[in-house]
Amino acid sequence: MGLAIDTVLLDLHNTSTNAAALAAMAPASGDSLSVRSFKDGASASLENVVVQCTTPPKRVRVLSPRLHDNVTGLTLTALENPTEFLLAADISQALYSADTLVVQAEAAASSDTVAALFVYYSDLPGVQANLYTWDQIKSRICCAWGSRARRPGTCGSAARRPARRSG
C-alpha cells in the first residue's frame, strides 16, 4: 500500500492597498493543486487546512467541479493567526483522482496570506510513507523530555553565557 500525506503550500500576495476578497491562491514552486492520480479502490482526502494571515478573521475556500458544491465549496474561516487546524480531527473531505482544486483566500491590504493543504492518499503508486497513529506511538514512549528555550535576543549573547570552567 502506498500511503502518503502531501502538503501543498499556497500563497496570495496582495500588492493592492485595498483588501482582497476571495482571490485565487498560487501554489508554491514544486507544489500543485492537482490531486495526484491513484488506483481504483484507493482514496484521497483533504485532511486539514492551515492559514497564516495578517488580520483574522479571514476566509479560505477550496473548490472543485467534483466537490459537493462547486460554487461555495469548502469555505472555512480562520479566527486566529496563525490557525492551528480549520477542520476538526474526525472530519475530512473526499477528493477525486486527477481532479484540480481551486483555493481562494481573503487578504489584507499589501500583505500575504499563506495556506497549507494536507492531502492523505491511501494508495499512491510509487510512494510508501512510514506513517503511524498516536495509539501506535504512545505505547513506545518511556520518558518525557523537555527542551530548554532561550528568550529572544539572548542567544549567543556574551553577557548571558555562563562562564566556562577551566581544567
Domain of 14: which CATH number?
A: 2.60.120
Task: Print the domain residue range for 69.
Answer: 4-124
**Mean of the pLDDT values across residues 106-128?**
89
* Sheet of strand 58-63, all strands in order from the earlier edge strand to the far edge: 20-24, 102-107, 58-63, 74-78
Alpha-carbon distance values, 103 to 57, 96, 151 (Å) = 17, 16, 37
Asked if residue 167 belongs to a domain, the reply is: no
Asked if residue 142 belongs to a domain, the reply is: no
pLDDT at 159 over 70: no
Residue 27 and residue 33: Cα distance in Å, rounded?
Answer: 7
**Residue 1: what pLDDT?**
67
Identify any residues that bridge with 140 across adjacent strands, giving them in sequence order: none
Residue 65 and residue 118: Cα distance in Å, rounded?
Answer: 19
Asked if residue 35 belongs to a domain, the reply is: yes
Asked if residue 17 belongs to a domain, the reply is: yes
Asked if residue 38 belongs to a domain, the reply is: yes
- Which cell is 49 given? 487546512
Asked if residue 144 belongs to a domain, the reply is: no
pLDDT digits (tens, 9 = 90+) for 19-54: 888 999 999 999 999 999 998 999 999 999 999 887
Q: At 7, phi and psi to the nearest 5? A: -105, 120
Strands 111-121, 44-52: pairing is antiparallel
pTM across the whole model: 0.76
Please count the CA atoms within 13 angstroms of the CA of 154 that sit on its side-chain side. Answer: 8
Please name the residues in contact with 153: beta carbons below 8 A apart, sequence gap of 6 or more: none
Asked if residue 129 belongs to a domain, the reply is: no
Asked if residue 135 belongs to a domain, the reply is: no
pLDDT at 155 over 60: no
Q: Provide the domain count of the chain.
A: 1
Alpha helices in 76-140 (DSSP H): 134-138
